[in-house]
Copies of this chain bind each other. A is one copy, B any other.
């Protein structure tokens, strides 16, 4: 019961399992069989279960770390001087992440994974700030909420993850970025007289 230091091989195997889980979860999502993770780590299924009580726990262990990194990144941006740039940087980060991280969108809305709830709430909270500040300087349309952003990002990550063409992600990201901006080009001083306007 006391937290005696793990035996050397146990420690090594635990790391191998985590490494294999990171790779396979990122590649195929939580659907990957646990036996495959064990095989990739060079251990038996039993060994995985001695370190993690359940498959979900392993997924949580891998994903919580990833979410936490994302939260840290967002938190730093939430206090930045330029909220518009901060918001853009967050989108950039997520776009990079989406390259081959199929587990991230699953982590956003995994049901029944109570272990992930704190990290998700943290992310939600910091996203709320990030969005609000970007809205205050007119960089993001006013009606958007953090939940909308999360849904949008999740959809983007999933859609991009399934597409064989990696350049799809770039164009999707551009669409999201521009779509999130307020409709009229109201940035700074400019006096266009675009007819047929839809905004007042």
Contacts and interface: CB of A to CB of B under 8 A. Distances in A.
A148 B168 contact: yes
A171 B192 contact: no
Interface residues of A, number: 36
Contact of A176 (B168, B175, B181): B175
A151 to B, nearest CB: 4
Interface string A114-145: 00000000000000000000000000010111
Secondary structure of the A contact surface, majority rule? helix
A183 B177 CA distance: 10
Interface in A176-192: 176-181, 183-185, 187, 192
Given A159-B154, A178-B179, A172 B185 contact: no
Interface of A: 109, 141, 143-145, 147-148, 151-152, 154-156, 158-160, 162-163, 165, 168, 171-172, 174-181, 183-185, 187, 192, 194, 196
Given A152-B175, A155-B158, A179-B179, 6 more contacts: A143-B171, A144-B175, A148-B171, A148-B172, A151-B163, A178-B179
